[in-house]
Amino acid sequence: MSENKTIPEMNSYEEIAEFWDEHSLADYWDETESADFEIDPNARRRYLVAVDPGLLKQIQQMARQRGLATESLVNLFLAQRLQEVAA
């Protein structure tokens, strides 16, 4: 294990994924800390919804540019639109 390695500041999931694709956690193990959490199996449910292929491509591209998962961006757009309609 190498000394003097620190995990750099990252600002998107894309940066995080790229970093860990190219580095080993073993080299940074001393930088980590324990985390306690619970996972609620009912917290999220997936639903199959047909999306126009062209629209999906645009959403995927926009999600990548923002460093988000496509699912997260779709949920954000739906929540925003529902607020607009309810107003």
Q: How far apart are CA 31 and CA 24, in angstroms?
A: 12
- What does the pLDDT look like over 16-69, one tens digit per residue? 999 999 999 999 998 888 989 888 877 777 788 999 999 999 999 999 999 999
Query: Residue 3: its pLDDT value, please?
Result: 62
Residue 1 has pLDDT above 80, yes or no: no
pLDDT at 4: 63
Going by CATH, does the domain composed of 46-87 fall within 1.10.1220? yes
Per-residue pLDDT, 40: 81
- The answer to whether residues 67 and 15 touch, using CB atoms and an 8 Å cutoff, is yes
Q: How far apart are CA 55 and CA 26, in angstroms?
A: 41
Where in the chain are all domains bearing CATH 1.10.1220? 46-87
pLDDT of 10 over the 80 cut: yes
Judge whether 73 and 60 are in contact, CB under 8 Å: no
